Structure 1
Amino acid sequence: MIHAAVSMSALGLGLGLLLGLAARRFHVETPPIVDEIDGILPGTNCGACGYPGCRGLAEAMAEGSAPVTACPPGGRDVALQLAAIVVPDADPETALSGMAEAEPTVAFIFEDHCTGCMKCFKRCPTDAIIGANKQIHTVVVDACIGCDACIEVCPTEAIVKRVKPTTLRGWYWTKPQSAFDADSRENAA
């Protein structure tokens, strides 16, 4: 019994040292901009951008092959932060010129169509769906990022995308326009 424990410990120690040496020998440095971009992205790895997770999108943005508006769950705020990093010399608003001013969306489950198959529950990257096997599911609006992952896998098409409802926690006053801004826009036209 002691010989087996000693041999397994020696084997584990030897393989651990081998893996440690291999990690140091074959380590690949990533550019610091990739880490900075990855820190700004939501980190949910939902795949709504078309890349394999947020790290893949960060690498593509650092190379210049992905636009700063590629993250739908992040929205306009994340795109503005990314534009300041990826295109520091340009005006962030011009980098976002193609991005439509859209309201945030969330998933909504029609409970009378839900069969409780758990496919949406397993696919949600933020655990925004609550429910159990063969029971009706519902969405926690504050946790949903609107990535469409659950909509794609629902076999009964019980999940749709809706505009995120305004609550007291998320409501804010719109910025009023000054008379000077309105006059300058009329003169420019």
Structure 2
Amino acid sequence: MSGLARGRALADLIDQALPQTQCTRCGYPDCRAYAEAIASGEAEINQCPPGGAEGVRRLAELTDRPVLTLDSTHGTEAPCALAVIDESWCIGCTLCIKACPVDCIAGAPKLMHVIVASQCTGCELCVPACPVDCISMNPVSGAATAWQAWSDEQARQSRDRYRWRTERQQRDKRENEERLRLKAEAKLSNLAEASRITDPLQLDRKRQAIEAALARARAQRKP
């Protein structure tokens, strides 16, 4: 097995050992990026607060590194908390929906949003995204923290939801780029067609149509 393949295989194992909250507190954009950074030696194994001390121990076993104390600059080990939206303050701006890495917030523009508690990872990314501070974090695991409050099955489900969301965003981006490409091609085609028109009557009709459209637009803008 090549060095690249070994690094990828190790990253896969590390990724499976992470809680998959996608909280970014480790300093990387998602759990997979952190796993790859650990596998390459770029990152330490003690940068994941949701994994806590147990998470550090798991990573130490996988990487054959010494167990370290959780790096407090990335946060502290704490009970599991779920996001809660204050319905009386929610303005339906959808910013929290866009911030949620696992699509656990349901809602629509100008309508109240609801958090699906069973899918929330407690990442807290929706809290700073809310412009009216209507989201709070509610501890739900008592004294249990990290892997004592979070299961391997929850981590697997969160990883799957994050992957589905990422794939959907990439698909939407591709489709939007294709729409823009087709629109640009249509404009170029129209310009090319217009450049071939030499009949004065046709040119005059097009000029009149454009002037009429501009006049309607100006009339609509008037109070």
- Identify the TM-score tier after normalising by the shorter chain: 0.5 to 0.7
Opposite residue 101 of structure 2, the aligned amino acid is: P
Is contact 1:128–1:139 with CA below 8 Å preserved after alignment?
Answer: yes
Counterpart of 1:68? Answer: 45
What is the CA–CA distance in structure 2 between the aligned matches of 1:118 and 1:149, rounded to whole Å? 13
Q: Taking structure 1 as the reference length, what is the TM-score of the superposition?
A: 0.59
Runs of 5+ unmatched residues, structure 2: 143-147, 149-223
Counterpart of 2:58? Answer: 81
1:129 CA displacement:
1.6
- 1:12-91 to structure 2, matched below 5 A, reads 29=5, 31=7, 32-43=9-20, 45-88=22-65, 90=66
Counterpart of 1:140? Answer: 116
Question: Do structure 1's residue 116 and structure 2's residue 102 form an aligned pair?
Answer: no
Instruction: Give identity over the alignment, percent.
Output: 38
Deviation digits for residues 128-168 of structure 1, max 9, x if unmatched?
222232222222222211212111211111112231256xx
Structure of larger gyration radius: 2
For the structure 1 residues 80 and 129, does the alpha-carbon distance in structure 2 shift closer, same or farther, using more than 3 Å as the test? farther
For the structure 1 residues 123 and 98, does the alpha-carbon distance in structure 2 shift closer, same or farther, using more than 3 Å as the test? closer
Opposite residue 60 of structure 1, the aligned amino acid is: A
What is the CA–CA distance in structure 2 between the aligned matches of 1:54 and 1:97, rounded to whole Å? 16
Opposite residue 66 of structure 1, the aligned amino acid is: A
What is the CA–CA distance in structure 2 between the aligned matches of 1:37 and 1:79, rounded to whole Å? 11
For the structure 1 residues 143 and 114, does the alpha-carbon distance in structure 2 shift closer, same or farther, using more than 3 Å as the test? same
Number of residue equivalences: 136
For the structure 1 residues 68 and 164, does the alpha-carbon distance in structure 2 shift closer, same or farther, using more than 3 Å as the test? farther
> What SS is found at the alignment partner of 1:106?
strand
- Larger helix percent: 2
115-124 or 104-113, which deviates more: 104-113
Opposite residue 110 of structure 1, the aligned amino acid is: D
Is contact 2:127–2:135 with CA below 8 Å preserved after alignment?
Answer: yes
Is contact 2:52–2:70 with CA below 8 Å preserved after alignment?
Answer: no
2:78 to 98, 102, 107: 102
For the structure 1 residues 34 and 97, does the alpha-carbon distance in structure 2 shift closer, same or farther, using more than 3 Å as the test? closer
Q: More relative contact order in 1 or in 2 (CA 8 Å, sep 6+)?
A: 2
Runs of 5+ unmatched residues, structure 1: 1-27, 167-171, 173-189
What is the CA–CA distance in structure 1 between the aligned matches of 2:35 and 2:111, rounded to whole Å? 38
Q: Taking structure 2 as the reference length, what is the TM-score of the superposition?
A: 0.51
What is the CA–CA distance in structure 2 between the aligned matches of 1:146 and 1:157, rounded to whole Å? 16
For the structure 1 residues 158 and 97, does the alpha-carbon distance in structure 2 shift closer, same or farther, using more than 3 Å as the test? closer
